[in-house]
Amino acid sequence: MNASVLNNYLIWNLVQKTTSSLDRRFESAQEKLLETLYGTKKSCTPRWQTCISNTDDALGFALGSLFVKATFDRQSKEIAEGMISEIRSAFEEALGQLVWMDEKTRQAAKEKADAIYDMIGFPDFILEPKELDDVYDGYEVSEDSFFQNMLNLYNFSAKVMADQLRKPPSRDQWSMTPQTVNAYYLPTKNEIVFPAGILQAPFYARNHPKALNFGGIGVVMGHELTHAFDDQGEFSSGREYDKEGNLRPWWQNESLAAFRNHTACMEEQYNQYQVNGERLNGRQTLGENIADNGGLKAAYNAYKAWLRKHGEEQQLPAVGLTNHQLFFVGFAQVWCSVRTPESSHEGLVTDPHSPARFRVLGTLSNSRDFLRHFGCPVGSSMNPGQLCEVW
């Protein structure tokens, strides 16, 4: 490679990384690039949002401590842990009903589901001032140089990452800060993590009907749990790792062949969907589609189990929906969104997730429970006649 090309590449990456920390000239150039890529013109971001965003990047766990103390309902952690247990039980019960899986693989799958380690809300150390201070030991902050603070952060982060190379992995280490509205499954540790940030509306609220909570955060929990058995997870194929997080084969050949037959149906289903005349890539999105479908099924079965134990909930007035229908509406509402054509195209090319519209329509059209509760006749748009089921 030409040395000048490599040099330009390195300089460009440095400029790209520091643009948001430089003056208006660089910010304007970045806005023009984003407008070309995504078709949207960035509105002027209020200064307080910029400050919060950069503080979140640099001092995420310190900010998380303030967030948890100010907003997080501690009982939500216990409730969420109970929901995960119920969803795990529902998933394992469904494992016992899979006709395509042999008994040896089924038992290994159940053991893996049992062994999934869950972390909810936030790590305890953020509420201990001394322990929190130790996390940022070595990070120098200047009161009057924002740019220098960002450079210090890059250097500090690099040193922290290098230091981790000399230490054994910790299962209790968080890869997301408490205020993050997201969740993840990590196959190398066989763990699922749900920060406090996602344990709020529209995903969850203590005063919401259980139907909405199971349809919201419950499906997210089922989604992350199903990543342990997917074909193309966010990090790598979850099903290839055992219950200890080791990359080793534990499937019998006949079950593996049957699994691939079932996933082929789902791959072809999502291949047929289009956004602005452009087809989805069913292979690229397969892992996330498996997790969406498995997560919805596990969460709904867990909700039914909750009803058997606690009895029917009071129905919401005026909405004209049963609580079972409300579960599916709650799931769909989580994905309400709008994207420009440019952004949609970029997502189709790069994103392992299907577009939000088809995360809803594709998943619901494979749900026998949804089709029954909404009375969708065979041949209708939501019930084309062939259901793709994996888990």
**DSSP 8-state class, residue 319:** S
Q: From the centroid of its chain, how far is CA 226?
A: 11
184-186 and 191-195 strand pairing? antiparallel
Strand partners, 191: 117, 186
Strand partners, 119: 193
For 134-144, b where at least 16 C-beta lie within 10 A, e where not — what string?
A: ebeeebeeeee
User: How far apart are alpha carbons 176 and 259 in whole angstroms?
Assistant: 32
User: How far apart are alpha carbons 119 and 117 in whole angstroms?
Assistant: 7
Residues with Cβ within 8 Å of 250's Cβ and at least 6 positions away in sequence, in order, are: 105, 108, 112, 242
Helix (H, G, I), strand (E, B) or coil at 355: coil
Helix (H, G, I), strand (E, B) or coil at 152: helix
Say if residues 194 and 121 touch (Cβ distance below 8 Å): yes
Active-site residue list: 224, 292
Residues with Cβ within 8 Å of 48's Cβ and at least 6 positions away in sequence, in order, are: none
